[in-house]
Amino acid sequence: MSIEAWPFLVSRNPYLDYRTIVAPDFICAAGIPNLLARAADGELTDPGHAIRRKIEGSEFGDFSIVFRVVQALEEYINPEGGENFLKDSFGREIYLLEGLVIKGTNHVSITNENLEDVHTQVRLSYQKFWDCIDVPPVEPSSHFYLKTNESSEVSPLLNIEETQPLKVSSNKKISQDTSWKIERKLSFDFRVSSIAFSPSEKKIAVRGYNPFVEIWSLSDYKRIDSVDNKLIFVNDFDHDRAIVFSPNGKLIAFSAIQSAECNNVLLWNVDSWQEESVFKGRRVSPASRIHAVAFSKDGQLLASASKDGTVKLWDISTKEQYASLQHQNSICAIAFSPKDFILASGDSKGCVEFWDVNSKKRLDILQSKEFSSVNSIAFNFNGSILAVGGDGGWTEGKHLEIWDVGSKKVIHFLVGHSDPVNSVAFSPNGQLLASGSKDGSVKLWDVNSGEEILTISEQNEGDSSSKITSVAFSSDGQLLASSNVDGIVTIWRP
């Protein structure tokens, strides 16, 4: 018996971050090769070992990938090169995630010889990719027949590690005439500064400026609980806007002034609704006000950033400070990359700084010519691109950009908002970008083309005077939430 299999390759070069380089022809034709970069992840695999992952719910059905993670060598880009490891511009070793795509999710026996054949087929593609500064098209691969003979003495079967399936929603294209309809409007008696969906999609956290924090159920749209605000000193600072769920959805983190003494970060247990931890910052001062918080992808670190330019990293397990990073300007926004423990911080002077969390060192500083201040940043699902929203500089109307993280170049200037952008968020599949602006509108953008898909008004009557403070996608991409300063949270569904 023979089964069709397609080679694929995910990797990076000195200029471009991890992305799909080779993908099956049918995946390229569907326009979603980046799904493989999202699905293929992991540490270096030992010889004779591989990783298997099911992808469920794609528009062309379920399929599986079997791949290995190996270090890239100089000989891969130069036939006369040696066995020294290739490194990117930051000095990090580069991995190749190379393997096979197999339609369906039934178990198929794979040998080491099969993956060696893949390595031979994709090696030339990686050699061409190595010098690319701009993002090249993904190379389509053709199928070959995989013989399912489990008694091969020449090449024994691989030891396969099964990882958690990746469940995706069908990536149907949203056209200009597609509208997002209001699912529900929630009204609060305080100004809403930020919102966040839980990873389980069953809850939404709502944050006020004062701060008030409430958790609501998405199944019946009723309030589950709220933070006891008597414990929090109320002050009229207007930039403390962040709230975030941990990756497992069990914790929420937000900043607050407690006991009229310190700018603290509170860690709250969602299940027991009790305070889990308090990470103490500096004494109350406008110069040390905490503006942003973010969890690392593994949930082990929490980052907090303040107006004085300090980024503090907190170890969730030990409850101790892991590191303190000094940004050059007042920080307005932070975001963890899904890969490589990279942290980005955006500031009040239009700069974004990139940090290596492991070495606790600054990697790079990028200055936008269009921004006088960066208000919000977000990585896409694989960390290859960054959305940056803020106050426009000298160029009117350009308040939103998409950057390629590897090449450090602007891919798209997104022109459409008439006032500064307060919040940006990628859809889970990376195809859409949502932006919320002080002009009162929420816009959806096609990430690949940079074109505006549609504009959503917060007011049915067309009154867009209410400034948008936050936007967020649910983890399945089927819900979009926006909040405004009038205390309205709107839930949208396509």
Which residues, other chains included, contact 268 with Cβ-Cβ below 8 Å and sequence gap of 6+? 213, 227, 251, 252, 253, 254, 274, 275, 276
Residue 117, classed as helix, strand or coil, is helix
Label the pairing between strands 243-245 and 223-226: unpaired
Whole-angstrom distance, CA of residue 425 vs CA of residue 348: 20
Neighbouring-strand partners of residue 144: 5
Angstrom distance (rounded) from CA 184 to CA 172? 23
| DSSP 8-state class, residue 408 | T
* Chain center to CA of 404: 13
Is there a contact between 302 and 294 (Cβ–Cβ < 8 Å)? yes
Nearest to 400 by CA among 380, 371, 364: 371
pLDDT at 398: 65
pLDDT of residue 290: 82
What is the three-class DSSP state of 37?
helix
Q: CA-CA distance, 8 to 32, in Å (whole number)?
A: 13
* CA neighbor of 301 nearest in space, from 288, 289, 318: 318
Contact 243, 196 (CB under 8 A): yes
pTM over 0.85: no
Position 209 scores a pLDDT of 72
Give me the pLDDT at residue 151, please.
44
Residue 127's nearest CA partner among 187, 163, 70, 86 is: 86
User: Long-range contacts for 268-275 (Cβ within 8 Å, ≥24 apart)?
Assistant: 268/213, 268/227, 270/198, 270/203, 270/215, 270/245, 273/215, 273/225
Q: Residues with Cβ < 8 Å from 490, sequence gap 6 or more?
A: 182, 184, 185, 186, 458, 481, 482, 483
Domains along the sequence of the chain with CATH: 2-167 (no CATH), 181-493 (2.130.10.10)
Cis peptide bond N-terminal to 247, omega within 30: no
| Cβ neighbours, 10 Å, residue 327 | 23
Q: Report the pLDDT value the prediction gives residue 436, as an integer from 0 to 100.
A: 94
Residues 6+ apart with CB under 8 A from 293: 242, 243, 244, 253, 254, 255, 265, 302, 303, 304, 305, 334
**Are the CB atoms for 290 and 339 separated by under 8 Å?**
no
Specify the pLDDT at position 49: 94
**DSSP bridge pairs for 411:** none
Helix (H, G, I), strand (E, B) or coil at 38: helix
pLDDT of residue 141: 94
SS3 for 338? coil
End-to-end CA separation in angstroms for the chain: 43
Q: What is the helix (H) or strand (E) element at residue 179, kind and residue range?
A: none
Classified as helix, coil or strand, 440 is coil
Task: Give the pLDDT score at 185.
Answer: 93
Q: b/e map of 73-107 (b: 16 or more CB within 10 Å)?
A: beebbeeeeeeeebebeeebebbbbbbbbbbebee
Length of the chain: 494
Cβ distance 203 to 216 under 8 Å? Answer: yes
Of 18, 48, 53, 13, nearest to 33 by C-alpha is: 18
**Helix or strand or coil: residue 78?**
coil
Please give the Cα distance from 92 to 89 (Å, whole number): 7
Per-residue pLDDT 10s for the chain (494 aa) are 568 899 999 998 888 878 899 999 988 887 788 889 888 988 899 999 999 999 887 766 789 999 999 999 998 888 777 778 898 766 778 999 999 999 876 777 888 889 999 999 999 999 999 988 878 899 999 988 876 554 445 567 889 999 988 877 544 444 444 678 899 999 998 888 899 999 876 899 998 876 678 999 998 999 998 876 555 554 444 455 689 999 989 999 988 766 555 678 888 898 888 888 888 765 555 566 788 899 998 899 999 988 888 899 999 999 899 999 998 888 889 999 987 789 999 998 889 999 999 899 999 998 877 778 899 999 998 888 999 999 876 555 568 999 988 888 888 889 888 888 999 999 988 889 999 998 889 999 999 888 899 998 654 333 444 789 999 999 888 899 999 988 999 999 98
Give tens-digit pLDDT for 99-126.
999 987 677 788 888 999 999 999 999 9
- List beta partners, residue 253: 244, 267
CA distance 202 to 268: 17
Task: Give the model confidence (pLDDT) of 416-447 as tens digits.
Answer: 888 889 999 999 888 899 999 988 899 999 99
